[in-house]
Structure 1
């Protein structure tokens, strides 16, 4: 097929599809992706013949998209970030990795595939969620928090993109991963600092909101992208740094208007081409059944995070959860890059596309009757539980945002540091299981017992140390909120047991492939599903323990 005809079809059909979907309240981007999937059914051979053309448009689109994200975020918004959006992001990542690790164990996925699956489930569609939040009449504070979470999402996504080109090693090596993460952070810092010093001054002096100014800006974005790529990282990292540099320009908004048409054209072709590649899969994968679960986990993560940390009622948190159940397009960008690098199969791109489309449909449908649905779900929760959580949430928000926020941040980051150390230890020790089995297969059973004993000991020791920081944090909370002091011990003990049980569940999930392989090799029994049930039981035990302890608190 002639390339001009292909481009004409991309733009005209996608415009029609986007218009129709927008008329019934859905996302334009979902329309672009659906267009690509439909075209793949009829023009598969022509699309394969023009792969180089589609890859070129995709590369340019990703560079422009990430550049625009850097420009919109800007250094000032990064400086003004607080704990609440970070806590919400933590909920998102936790639920996403829980889903990915759980079903990764069932489907026997590799660590890179699990990371990509978690990435698909980690993001909400910023344009959709913000539009729905406005339509729902949510408060200015709620919309601002959603925007800040979206900023954290974008930064998190860009770091994943930056690491992807260097993740083509076989198996998971924690030391190699840490080296890459550290190197990425150093390169990011260098690019951003050079952008905020040298490039910033050049932009201010010579760039004006006109055609030559746009040419200079685009040239800088692609130059930074090439520098990043030459260092073995994703070009997106360099484009992001260039966008940060432009964000300081006095006429930033005017320059953005000049860039918008060019960016939109490339993004339309990009999302249509993603749809075509997702539609080229010629077999059914069980992974595709995860699309509804990904949407549900998006809803669960955002609802619980807002209800527990922002001082909002369950009804309002549910409305935000309805809007946030739309799965983000950035997951498709990451999946596309990973597919192009040969890290994962095409079925992941199809799963990502289905999740984006399904999420857009579900979030739009739920948001139309958000009040009715929120009341029905909220009525199923006992009144005493709602009253208790509402009170806790209000006090958490007041303390985090109030005068004691610096002390709270210090205690919070100490706990976060211990949790990160715990995760690193679990991943490292779990990797040692695979290495010991490879080097010493004859005694791998005994070595695995020793390693698991070490993991459990470390989990308990770090949990005990974290308990002290939790006591400090809870003391501030009880003193400032004026609630029953008995709650302090309940919260501290709940933190301890939660950390121990969740860490044990994480250890089992990370080492799940090793355990199932070892048992299958020795006893010829597949324990993958038993392991999944046991891990789910651990997580349900956490909920049950917290609930039982909360019930013991006098009113």
Structure 2
């Protein structure tokens, strides 16, 4: 050909096969990224047929990593983390430690050295943000207590992995690897680590002091012009420029730069618009990232090292899951929370790929280790939906057959019972409110201002502890469990208020409440218009739907203003 078309070939065959296999994966109810990885395997040098240029793919993958980390940063919410910090922070750190140790023990049994074993174990310890958010979203669990714990847990994992990405190049020589080209080989390990931490601290300070103010200001100025393409260009330029600047000026990884770029964009009033405008570009480069990762995978390892692959899958799907479940139960959360968090973390993804790529570049991992990590990701992501589907049947089976499991859920838990200072006179004609989210908070505040007695039933233990510190009667647990409603003294309540939740759970709560108190009034906050209509049809109680109530309130206000204007004219 008269000119070089390697990039066009890569894009054509990469996107073509990614579309085909992504569609097949979606039809099989698997995450599409499985299809993207398979597309990469097909066009890789390790398989016969069409072969794309892996060097160009790796450069495009760098952009993919930037946009993935930018997406993690723009989704990072300290508020989400604060709500579940007491379980998410220690739980995630301990679970990472357990998974890393398991990975190290197995790999050292295979004869690997300490440095390789450490990076390998860390690669198996971190779950995929993409897979987790999709799995929870598909099942409507993102806004549930279990979903928030899983997301908060993953946020901590992400922060730990960002720290690992920062420190790994500086400690590579100490672990038996090679010094990155940008670092001096004459410096001592201690000095290298100290300089790295100083540079990172300098970069973080720069972003928090200057970037946090400058980036939102630039976005505001561009937004006033009204040009959509200029706004999109501004966001992309911020992501890529900050990522590259962090590397060129401060010497930190471009992945960390992109992460902080996302965080400062989140501080802007235009963060939602920025996310929406750059979503197609982020998706495109993310697909190229997964395709390039697939191109590195050699399928021959499935035949050559089946026992090693089974061990890796066992660590990811059994070791990590059991460790996470044990930690959740230790923090006295119910069994369904333990199963949900365990299933959420029983896979690995993008951080594992980034760590594997960095480990290979630093001489800490070889191709076999990278292939084992990729195989573990392929199988664990493929089987993750099966684990989620098994949660309810397993939960029911355990509760029916295991007295120990039932004890584990509520054993000697002081938060599952109302405190002694709540006297019996208080527990008559009270309002029982299920859930203390945004709706529950407003209702509780309004009722208490009017001197009306309330009892809150809430799954999030930290919220229950905070309520009790304020002197508000609250009990921890899922209200679908009869014991929680009994503790809230539903049998003496005048009113039951149910915050937005799944219709099946609403049915269970009302059935228990009516059994204990046949004459209790029920008020239900519906999540959707369809749910509101179903509740009305089934006559479960008085229904309120946010958009309907807002429309009624606005209509009443408009009519009042028109009447006022009419009266003033006469």
1:255 aligned residue (246, 258, 274): 274
Cα distance in 2 for partners of 1:388, 1:365 equals 25
1:387 alignment counterpart: 407
The runs of 5 or more residues in structure 2 that have no matched partner are: 177-187, 417-458, 470-570
Counterpart contact for 2:415–2:464, Cα < 8 Å: no
Q: Per the alignment, do residues 394 and 289 of structure 1 end up closer, same or farther by CA in structure 2, a change over 3 Å counting?
A: farther
Deviation per CA, 1:135-165: give whole Å up to 9, x if none.
5565711112222122222222222222233
Per-residue deviation, 1:85: 1.3
Q: CA deviation at 1:11?
A: 0.6
Structure-2 separation of matches of 1:13 and 1:337? 26
1:524 is aligned to none
Q: What is the match of residue 331 of structure 2?
A: 309
The TM-score with structure 1 as length reference comes to 0.65
* Equivalent position SS for 1:124: coil
Q: Choose between structure 1 and 2 for higher RCO, CA contacts under 8 A separated by at least 6 residues.
A: 1
Q: Does 1:192 align with 2:207?
A: yes
| Matching residue of 2:169 | 165
* 1:56-93, Cα deviation, whole Å (9 max, x unpaired): 10111111111121112156556666222113212321
Shift of 1:214: 2.1
Superposed, which structure 2 residues align to 1:90-489 within 5 Å?
Answer: 90-136=93-139, 138=141, 140-171=144-175, 175=190, 179=194, 182-183=197-198, 185-193=200-208, 194-207=210-223, 210-230=228-248, 231-279=250-298, 284=304, 287-293=308-314, 294-309=316-331, 311-312=333-334, 314-376=335-397, 383-384=403-404, 386-388=406-408, 390-391=410-411, 395=415, 400-403=462-465
Q: What residue in structure 2 maps to residue 510 of structure 1?
A: none
1:507-535 per-residue CA deviation (whole Å, 9 max, x = no partner) reads xxxxxxxxxxxxxxxxxxxxxxxxxxxxx
- Alpha-carbon contact 2:167-2:193 (below 8 Å) kept: no
Q: TM-score, normalised by structure 2?
A: 0.63
Summarize deviations over 1:298-320 as a string: whole Å, max 9, x none.
321332232222521x2452244
Q: 1:215 to 1:136 in 2, by over 3 A?
A: closer
Distance 1:373 1:196, change over 3 A: same
Which secondary structure state, in structure 1, belongs to the residue aligned with residue 392 of structure 2? helix
User: SS of the residue aligned with 2:411?
Assistant: helix
CA contact (8 A) 2:235 2:274 kept: no
User: Could you tell me how far apart the structure 1 residues matched to 2:337 and 2:465 are?
Assistant: 26
Cα deviation 1:351-397 (Å, max 9, x = unaligned): 2221112112222123234322334456675x246415633567498
1:100–1:117 CA contact under 8 A, matched in 2:
yes
The answer (yes or no) to whether the contact 1:85–1:148 under 8 Å persists in 2 is yes
Residue 14 (str. 1) matches residue 18 (str. 2): yes
| Number of aligned positions between the proteins | 404
Distance 1:115 1:187, change over 3 A: farther
Match of 2:74 in 1: 71
Specify whether residues 399 and 217 from structure 1 end up closer, same or farther in structure 2 by C-alpha distance, changes over 3 A only. closer
Q: How far apart are the structure 1 equivalents of 2:397 and 2:56?
A: 50
Distance 1:101 1:59, change over 3 A: same
Alignment-derived partner of residue 554 in structure 2:
none
Q: Secondary structure at the match of 1:42?
A: coil
**Take 1:177 and 1:307, find their aligned partners in 2: how far apart are those partners?**
41
Q: 1: CA distance between counterparts of 2:468 and 2:108?
A: 40
Give distance in 2, aligned partners of 1:65 and 1:385: 39
Task: Tell me: CA distance 1:157–1:180, structure 2 relative to 1, closer, same or farther (3 Å).
Answer: farther
Q: How far, CA to CA, are the matches of 1:63 and 1:338 in structure 2?
A: 18
Q: Using a 3 Å threshold, how does the CA distance of structure 1 residues 400 and 33 change in structure 2: closer, same or farther? A: same
**Corresponding residue of 1:529:** none
Shift of 1:253: 1.0
- Tell me the CA shift for residue 204 of structure 1: 3.0
Instruction: Write the distance in 1 (CA, Å) between the matches of 2:76 and 2:211.
Output: 14
SS in 2 for 1:311: coil
Distance 1:377 1:9 in 2: 48
Q: 1:171, CA displacement in angstroms?
A: 3.5
Distance 2:192 2:363 in 1: 18
- Which runs of 5 or more residues in structure 1 are unaligned? 408-555
CA distance in 1, matches of 2:21, 2:282: 19
Contact kept, 8 Å, 1:323 with 1:364, in 2: the verdict is no
Task: Say which one has the larger Rg.
Answer: 2
